[in-house]
Amino acid sequence: MKSSLPSLSSHHRRSAQTDLDYFLRDLQFLKLASDKEIRTAIRCPQVIDGRIVVDDPDAARWLAYTYIEADRTSWSNVREVRLYQLTAEAIKAANRHGLIADADLWSSDGALWRKLKTADHPEVRRWVDRITPGTRFARSDEDPQFRVSTKIRSINPPVTDGSSVTPLSVLDPVFARYRRDYLTSKQGEWPMAVVNAPPTTA
Query: pLDDT tens, 38-78?
Result: 888 878 888 888 788 999 999 999 999 999 999 888 877 77
Contact 78, 192 (CB under 8 A): yes
Residue positions counted in the chain: 202
Percent of the chain surpassing pLDDT 90: 34
Query: Strands 190-195 and 136-139, how do they pair?
Result: antiparallel
- The confidence band for 170, taking pLDDT boundaries of 50, 70 and 90, is very high
Between 6 and 158, the higher pLDDT residue: 158
CA separation for the pair 25, 3 (Å, rounded): 9
Q: Which of 2-11, 36-45, 118-127 has the highest mean pLDDT?
A: 118-127
pLDDT value of residue 47: 81
Q: Is residue 167 pLDDT above 70, yes or no? A: yes
Give 161 or 148, the one with higher predicted confidence: 161
Residue 24 or 108, more confident? 108
- Residue 11 in this model has a pLDDT that exceeds 50: no
The pLDDT > 70 percentage for the chain reads 86
Residue 93 has pLDDT above 50, yes or no: yes
Question: Residues 188-193: what's their mean pLDDT?
Answer: 79
Instruction: For residue 169, count other CB atoms closer than 10 A to its CB.
Output: 20
- Is pLDDT above 50 for 29? yes
Mean pLDDT over all residues of the chain? 82
Alpha carbon separation from 19 to 9, 12, 24, 35, 115 (Å, rounded): 11, 10, 9, 19, 31
Global pTM value: 0.64
